[in-house]
Amino acid sequence: MPKNFLTILDIPRDEAQQVLLRAKEMKDNKVRTDLLAGKTLLLIFEKASTRTRVSFEVGVRQLGGDPVFIASKDSQLGRSEPLKDTARVLSRYADGLIVRTFGQEKLETLVEYGDIPVVNALTDEYHPCQIMADVLTMYERTPKLEELKVAWVGDGNNMAHSFINGAVPFGYQLSLACPKGYEPDEEILDKARGLGAVITLTDDPAEAVAGAHYVNTDVWASMGQEEEQAKREKAFAGYMVDDALMAKAAEDAKFMHCLPAHREEEVSESVFESPASIVWDQAENRLHMQKAILEWIYK
Ligand code: CP
Ligand code: NVA
């Protein structure tokens, strides 16, 4: 059975720690291997991407493999060839699929009908590779993750869901502030809590951020929600991470954002460009973490 990485919970708890340590080692030692020699990994993207696409293409090469990028609009997928057919065809050519798409069920279809590993490069529901990299970004500053309070201010979206899942293996305390009607999925929250994660949910950003060591946010309208921008700007009024909000966090708290960011919307220019902002390290860590995830799948 091929290993897949559709959500953070696909990695057993103890192995998640190993993946984290390996990503750090890969970063510190600029690791290159031939693990993927002779292997071709297809990147299928139904949404735009800078960081995820480039870090996977570079990462696959640094592990000795060949990445092949497919923009779905230029393929038969964009003309409605069924995913279950595409999965069976691509399994005959390649050794893995790295997929950015809409519904999570599309990845599940690829897993069901294909017979090569599938990696989630972002869906409407989850962004697990990003949060694994974000955990690395926190770990390299504050290795005792279980002593951290991590705040999420904004939409209960794919990023929030993966932060919720990440609280299970990595043990940080997560406090989310989401406007009413934009809370994370209850099932995802309940499942993580049932697995021992300590997670609070409020609609007051100041409450969520109080004493937090890391303050995270993301765009208010994700890819695919562009037409809701105006409605969301109203709903998220008061949710901008600005200097006043950061002042309520722990001393020396850091600001995090997966990027791309909308300045003066979810984050003020002053916070985004401040010394507290660690967004470029987050972006860099995508590369190191994805190599560690690929090693977990293929070794
Ligand atoms: N953070 C992130 O996934 O960025 P891209 O959309 O550029 O891949
Ligand atoms: N929530 C955002 C993340 C982008 C990396 C989106 O899905 O568009």
**CATH of region 138-278:** 3.40.50.1370
Q: How many CB atoms lie within 10 A of CB 51?
A: 18
What b/e string do you get for 79-113 counting C-beta neighbours within 10 Å, with b at 16 or more? eeeebeebbeebbeebbbbbbbbeebebbebbbeb
Q: What is the pLDDT of residue 39?
A: 98
Q: Nearest Cα to 131, choosing from 2, 9, 299, 272?
A: 9
Proportion of the chain in helix, strand, coil states, percent, rounded to 5? 45, 15, 40
Query: Rounded to 5 degrees, what angle do the CA atoms 9, 11, 15 make?
Result: 135
- Token representation of residue 109: 């279809």
How many A from CA of 159 to the centre of ligand 2? 7
As a whole number of angstroms, the distance between CA 197 and CA 192 comes to: 5
Q: What is the pLDDT of residue 92?
A: 98
Mark whether 218 is an active-site residue. Answer: yes
Ordered by start, the domain boundaries in the chain are 8-127+283-298, 138-278
Query: What lines the ligand 1 site, CB under 6 Å?
Result: 49-52, 122, 130, 258-259
Q: Nearest Cα to 178, choosing from 255, 222, 260, 238?
A: 238
**Residue 156 CA to chain centroid, in angstroms?**
13
E strand or H helix at 292? helix 279-298
Domain 8-127+283-298 top-level CATH class: alpha beta
Whether 39 and 61 have beta carbons less than 8 Å apart is answered as no
- Token representation of residue 258: 């997966």
As a whole number of angstroms, the distance between CA 296 and CA 299 comes to: 6
Whether 250 and 141 have beta carbons less than 8 Å apart is answered as no
Q: What is the pLDDT of residue 71?
A: 87
Tens of pLDDT, residue by residue, the chain (299 residues) = 899 999 999 999 999 999 999 999 999 999 999 999 999 999 999 999 999 999 999 999 999 999 999 988 889 988 889 999 999 999 999 999 999 999 999 999 999 999 999 999 999 999 999 999 999 999 999 999 999 999 999 999 999 999 999 999 999 999 999 999 999 999 999 999 999 999 999 999 999 999 999 999 999 999 999 999 999 999 999 999 999 999 999 999 999 999 999 999 999 999 999 999 999 999 999 999 999 999 999 99
264 conformational bin, left if phi > 0, alpha if psi -120 to 50, beta if neither? left
Atom of ligand 1 nearest to the CA of 283: 1
Query: What Cα–Cα distance (Å) separates residue 135 from each residue in 10, 138, 142, 204?
Result: 16, 5, 10, 24
178, 258, 282, 290: which one is catalytic? 258
DSSP one-letter code for 9: G
DSSP-assigned beta bridge partners for residue 173:
149
Whether 37 and 64 have beta carbons less than 8 Å apart is answered as yes
100, 161, 213, 257: which one is catalytic? 100
Same fold, 8-127+283-298 and 138-278: yes
10, 51, 62, 130: which one is catalytic? 130
E strand or H helix at 112? helix 104-113
SS3 86: helix
Atom of ligand 2 nearest to the CA of 159: 1
